[in-house]
Amino acid sequence: MKLFIDSGNIKDIETLAAIGIIDGVTTNPTLLSKEPGDYRDNLKKICQIVKGPVSGEVTATDFAGMMREGHDIAHIDSYMVVKVPLTRDGIKACKALSGEGIRVNVTLCFSAAQALLAAKAGASYISPFVGRLDDVATNGMELVREIVEIYDNYEFPTEVLVASCRHPIHIVEAARMGADICTCPPAVIDQLFNHPLTAIGLEKFLKDWEKAHEAVKA
Ligand code: E4P
């Protein structure tokens, strides 16, 4: 399963990318609006750091506007993926942009029916928002299971990009279900490294090693 960073913060992206486990980045208007500087320059920098798919979202809500902004975003860098919302105009723009060879990530997906439309429109990625479903007392991971099943049934090439991940269990469940990608905030990726037994075990190994060397010296 691929791991994407859900952030527009260059420093966070640089730090995690340097470890060598990051396959791509997703952004959205909220994330990009938190960062200083021109958003196009920031997206360009992110592409140079990660050298993998980087999603930039349109803010137009009509078909013509989405097409215009989609072309603009696609021209930033060859790694750019155009993100469109799962609306009628978004699905129409997905079909048209995909037809031109531009990769499209259909975002704000909250049902399997919506995911089916995105696949039929040639989306490269579908983004079910699991955390936001959990927030309204609906199991977000069940939606991922349904989408993976439907895409497998018909061999749709659209990749399932699990979004709005809030904790490591989302990531582990996504991997067990066979989702293609998880996109997570940097803090959630950091949590993946942690296990108290690893810390305790390492401390003991180092202490024993030190003790043995002191004994040899004495
Ligand atoms: C994904 O592409 C979105 O940017 C993101 O995962 C939304 O997450 P949130 O629900 O935590 O804002």
For every residue of 159-171, which 3-state class applies, written as one string? EEEEECCCCHHHH
Compute the distance from residue 129 Cα to the ligand 1 centre, in Å.
7
Q: Give pLDDT, residue 173.
A: 98
Enumerate the β-bridge partners of residue 205. Answer: none
H helix or E strand, kind and range, residue 107: strand 104-109
Architecture of domain 2-217: Alpha-Beta Barrel (3.20)
Which one, of 75, 129, 74, 77, lies nearest residue 103 by Cα? Answer: 74
pTM for this prediction:
0.96
Q: Catalytic: which of 2, 83, 92, 211?
A: 83
Q: Give pLDDT, residue 216.
A: 81
Atom of ligand 1 nearest to the CA of 55: 2
Q: Give pLDDT, residue 103.
A: 98
Residues with pLDDT less than 70, the chain: none
Q: Give pLDDT, residue 124.
A: 98
Domain ranges in the chain are 2-217
Q: Give pLDDT, residue 217.
A: 81
Compute the distance from residue 215 Cα to the ligand 1 centre, in Å.
54
Residue with CA closest to ligand 1 atom 5: 164
Ligand 1 pocket mutation pick from 28, 103, 180 by most atoms within 8 angstroms of CB:
28
Contact of 13 with 148, CB cutoff 8 Å: no
Taking only the tens place, the pLDDT of each residue in 102-113 is 999 999 999 999
Q: Give pLDDT, residue 111.
A: 98
Residue with CA closest to ligand 1 atom 7: 164
How many other CB atoms are there within 10 angstroms of residue 134's CB atom? 16
Taking only the tens place, the pLDDT of each residue in 163-194 is 999 999 999 999 999 999 999 999 999 999 99
- The C-alpha atoms of residue 164 and residue 162 are separated, in whole angstroms, by 7
Residue 83 annotated among the catalytic residues of the structure? yes
- The C-alpha atoms of residue 101 and residue 80 are separated, in whole angstroms, by 12
